[in-house]
Structure 1
């Protein structure tokens, strides 16, 4: 993998790029996890069925993320296996995103409705 480059961005860097409309964020966690809490604007493409060629890039760079960073690195490897020379993932995953106090959509366990926090 020496010719492949895996970039890591912090949650605040990812948020800034999202706010500027520069990137597409892909959450590689499973649908149950995504439904419970997620980054506003992130698309769900679970690692279990991940197909790098089907990502909705809209011509923009993709940033992968998961819960802690392990699965997003695995998804990056799938991108490399599909021919990508570079991939980017969010260091620390959703855990670091929450630690940074960034916005999150969570499902209210009482109502089952999503609500924005942060």
Structure 2
């Protein structure tokens, strides 16, 4: 479980992910709005989630926390790349395929957040 001081910033991160997921699921896809929301998600992660000092965590949770943080960071980077591919998609089939990949990455991020106790 997260320390109390961090639970608020964690919920902000999950809310930003949910907002991003809603935009991806919308019928009227706005790539520029997706890019903007993704930048917000990254900013929240870097400013709040990634900034938790290891000594603030329970020693029993430290390993899980660090590995989950690594996976979140990696998935965010891959999601950024996937958004670039989505933006460059010209054919409807390719666009749908890229959207599916973006949805999967968002599901992974939400799953990682739940794994470390973020609601």
TM-score range, shorter chain: under 0.3
Higher helix share: 2
TM-score normalised by L of structure 2: 0.27
Higher strand share: 1
